[in-house]
Amino acid sequence: MSFIVAIYVPEGVVMTADSRLTFTRTESMHDGSRRHLAVGISNNSRKSFMTPSGVGLCTYGAASDNRNNPIGGLVDEFILDHTDEHSDADGVARDLMVYLRANQPDMKTGFLVGGYVYGENEKPEPHIWDLWVADDHLKQTSVSGNYGLSWRGVSDVVSRLIQPLWMKSGKTGEYKELPYYQIQWATMSLNEAVDFAVYAIESTIELMRFQPRNQTVGGEVEVMIITPRGSHWINRKRLRVKRDFYDPGPR
């Protein structure tokens, strides 16, 4: 599946994604029910991308197109052929949907697209877009003048952590709201937004270790920041040799 997060605060936009690639297999049980098993294939899947103009894209859902090619190649092709240094967040989101619907209309893959557009008086505004290819769904999730976050994929862990919860009393059967402290996105610094985005994904990864469920989120957490002054990676996977036996040392 995946877990991706986009946060927009006064200083900028933070976009993060995990790196786990899983293969989902469906088994038929004796009672007629069906069980879905997710087998981890890799912790190095590319789910985060940046255009020449500094617009960020994070993907979740199916990790390959209808020809079983990795989704990264399709996104790279889109960025190379359909974006330039002048493409803003709105243009990238709309062009990406047109491109994917023309090439892979049935692909069960979604995206968060984040960046800036220039509104009245040339004032930069952060915009976050939500795409789901198979349903031709394209919607802006950010609200002008407000700040917050959007997430997609396996979000149940973080939902329980930061949203209001009610607990049922064993004596009366009534539900009582637990103490709730709303996060103040409008006063959050960009560094704190980075910390929260990483915390959200790593909390999901760690809790999954202890639960009898499919381990569909994992691997390295990639992080990019996007501001009106420019965009860059805070953390990004790089090609490297990890195993010691590739370095036998002196002979």
Beta 56-61 vs 109-118: how paired, if at all? antiparallel
Exposure string of 43-56, with b = 16+ CB inside 10 Å and e = fewer, is eebbbbbbbebbbb
Residue 110 has pLDDT above 70, yes or no: yes
Residue 89 has pLDDT above 70, yes or no: yes
List CB contacts of 33: < 8 A, sequence separation 6 or more: none
Specify which of 143-152, 164-173, 242-251 reaches the highest per-range mean pLDDT.
143-152
Alpha-carbon distance 244 to 247, whole Å?
5
Specify which of 60-74, 116-130, 142-156, 230-244 reaches the highest per-range mean pLDDT.
142-156
Percent above pLDDT 90 for the chain: 73
pLDDT confidence tier of residue 35, bands split at 50, 70 and 90: low
CB 218 within 8 A of CB 19: yes
- Name the least confident of 4-8, 68-72, 153-157: 68-72
Alpha-carbon distance 135 to 87, whole Å?
24
Residue 40 has pLDDT above 80, yes or no: no
What's the average model confidence in pLDDT over 24-32?
Answer: 67
Instruction: Give pLDDT, residue 117.
Output: 96
Average pLDDT value for the chain: 91
Residue 29 has pLDDT above 90, yes or no: no
pLDDT confidence tier of residue 241, bands split at 50, 70 and 90: confident
Order of strands across the sheet that contains 230-235: 148-153, 3-9, 12-17, 222-227, 230-235
| Structural domains in the chain, sorted by start | 3-246 (3.60.20.10)
Instruction: Give pLDDT, residue 28.
Output: 67
Q: What is the DSSP string of 61-89?
A: E-SB-TTS-BHHHHHHHHHHHH--TT--H
What's the average model confidence in pLDDT over 164-192?
Answer: 93
